[in-house]
Amino acid sequence: MAEISTVIFAGQGAQKVGMCKTLYDKYPFIKSLIDKSCDVLNYDIKTIMFEGTQEKLNETIHAQPALLISGFACYLLYAHATGKEINASLTAGLSLGEYTSCVYSKVIQFGQCLSLVDKRARLMQEACDKTKGTMASIIGLKKEQVQQIVASFEGKGVLVISNYNSTDQFVISGDIELVKKASEDASKAGAKRVIPLNVAGAYHSPLMIHAHEQMHKILQQEHLNKPSIPIISNYSSTPNDEVEKVRAALQNQLIKPVRWLQTLNYLAKSEVETVYEFGPGKVTTGILKRLYPNMKCISISSDSDLTAQSE
């Protein structure tokens, strides 16, 4: 009986300078992918990825395309090295990674998706420029505690839980002052760590409404294919296998929370045995190993990871 597997892709925050540089130098098909990406974007993304400062790579307009490129490149590397495709039953991606999942599930071709992601990143930056928002990570509190803190600011402005990352790790997003006050309350409530995030604005919150409205118009004009396998939506944490549901999910994730914990729980309930994570970092597989120790997790961000898997 074939194993039940899932393919997942990293999101913004996982980017690091040097990602894919060795792969670019070593594998012609990855060099071709990245060179073509520069043409699609009409700027030299590879120099930013390989040699730029971390600060420049962290900029939304660069980080999002770079993560799409690296995630898909790492998947192609695995397929090339093993000579086979992963017979996954589901796919998912953290925020931006949901777009990479759309490429993997053949909803959209890579070049078309890269152009979409470039537009998404620029619209998100525009939304940030129009508002005064930020984000903070809260580690060490239960979901109910964070929900209670957020609820205490109801009616005072915008403040939401924007990411459910794990059972004890959440991100809040909203007006700068409210995020600051809520962070102080989280520390008083016993949070192990409260980390202000170095971001341009309040992602996955109502402050992204400008990007949400504009992406709706753009996505309506894009031809999307029926997914070859269901994509678990960040917005609903349930699988979508219909074009219009995928389209709506990509739009709604801009102003709605990323339900990543719920997504991982869904994988476990679906009796997934092996999870393949492609792209820089090992954040998601690290969370999964903590939550579900019996689930096999394979993270591929370089060819050295392939060697480790074969040993």
Active site residues: 95, 204
Q: Mapping DSSP to helix (H, G, I), strand (E, B) and coil, where does residue 47 land?
A: helix
Q: Could you give the CA distance from residue 255 to residue 257 in angstroms, rounded to a whole number?
A: 7
Contact 283, 289 (CB under 8 A): no
With CA atoms as reference, report the closest residue to 49 among 200, 25, 58, 78.
Answer: 58
DSSP letter string, 94-161: STTHHHHHHHHTTSS-HHHHHHHHHHHHHHHHHHHHHS-EEEEEEES--HHHHHHHHHTTTTSS-EEE
Q: Give CA 263 to chain center in angstroms.
A: 12
Q: State how far the Cα of 160 lies from the Cα of 256, in Å rounded to an integer.
A: 9
Length of the chain: 311
Closest CA to 100 of 298, 268, 220, 277: 277
| Tokens found for residue 186 | 């989280």
